[in-house]
């Protein structure tokens, strides 16, 4: 059994925030794979279903981000799970939009949801880092992550969620590379830069034909005259 946790803040006012992309990811998985309706349990919303051969629980903590670990720990204790069974979907400032990385363990990089979970169960759980980009100025981060995705971002967010749902069975099976491959099929591929054409070589100038050799003058003197000239 796996526990897939989406991080976000509860309430309609936060629903479209960049900080709630983890909630969006588990919602997409639930919708694409026919999970049960969400129900309240463990200070969270819980849905159950299967991904491939694996039974999977989807969890959306309703405690606000900085107390997410309370719900995760309660669910783990009830189902007798270990940290390696837990997969957490969360927003990642250090990745550009549409970029996704999967890692096990590590720090929380200031993310309050990860900080809370690690404080309750330790750091050795799987993280699916969903890139949202950085505003470029540290002072703008709070308003940025708690702000809604812009209208022009709707396309890539939808593609990303579709990709996450498509790759989820591989993730449940522990195949992170397979998950990323399936996800990538739903994202636009970077265009290859056209190869630069090599400049055409100028033809080498043909060598000028050699001037015809002038014939040596014929010496018409008699042998006696030639001999006489040697002693002059």
- 199 backbone φψ class: left, alpha, beta (φ>0; ψ -120 to 50): beta
DSSP 19-49: GGHHHHHHHHHHHHTTPPPPEEETTEEEEEE
In sequence order, the β-bridge partners of residue 101 are: 129
Say how far apart CA 133 and CA 55 lie, in whole Å: 33
| Per-residue tokens: 110 | 């200031």
Cα gap 62→162, rounded to integer Å: 24
CA distance 180 to 76: 26
Chain-centroid distance, C-alpha 138: 22
Confirm if 7 and 17 have CB atoms less than 8 A apart.
Answer: no
Nearest to 130 by CA among 81, 179, 71: 179
Q: In what order do the strands lie in the sheet with 126-131?
A: 39-41, 44-51, 54-61, 2-6, 86-92, 126-131, 100-104
Phi, psi of 208 (to 5 degrees): -65, 135
Q: Which of 19, 33, 90, 111 is catalytic?
A: 19
Q: Is 16 an annotated catalytic residue?
A: no
Catalytic residue ranges: 19
């Amino acid at each position: 059994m796996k526990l897939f946790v989406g991080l976000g803040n509860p309430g309609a006012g936060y629903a479209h925030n960049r900080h709630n992309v983890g909630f969006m990811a588990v919602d997409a998985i639930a919708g694409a794979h026919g999970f049960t309706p969400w129900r309240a349990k463990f200070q969270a919303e819980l849905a159950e279903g299967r991904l491939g051969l694996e039974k999977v629980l989807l969890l959306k903590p309703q405690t606000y981000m900085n107390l997410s670990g309370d719900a995760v720990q309660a669910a783990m204790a009830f189902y007798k799970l270990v940290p390696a069974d837990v997969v957490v979907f969360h927003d990642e400032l250090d990745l550009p939009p549409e970029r996704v990385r999967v890692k096990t363990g590590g720090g929380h990089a200031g993310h309050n949801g990860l900080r809370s979970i690690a404080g309750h169960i330790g750091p050795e759980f799987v993280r699916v880092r969903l890139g949202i980009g950085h505003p470029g100025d540290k002072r703008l981060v709070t308003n940025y992550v708690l702000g809604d995705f812009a209208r022009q971002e709707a396309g890539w967010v939808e593609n990303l969620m579709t990709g996450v749902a498509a790759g989820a069975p591989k993730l449940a099976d522990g195949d992170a590379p397979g998950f990323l491959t399936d996800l990538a099929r739903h994202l636009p591929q970077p265009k290859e830069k056209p190869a630069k054409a090599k400049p055409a070589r100028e033809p080498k100038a043909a060598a000028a034909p050699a001037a015809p050799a002038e014939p040596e003058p014929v010496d018409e003197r008699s042998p006696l005259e030639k001999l006489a000239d040697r002693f002059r």
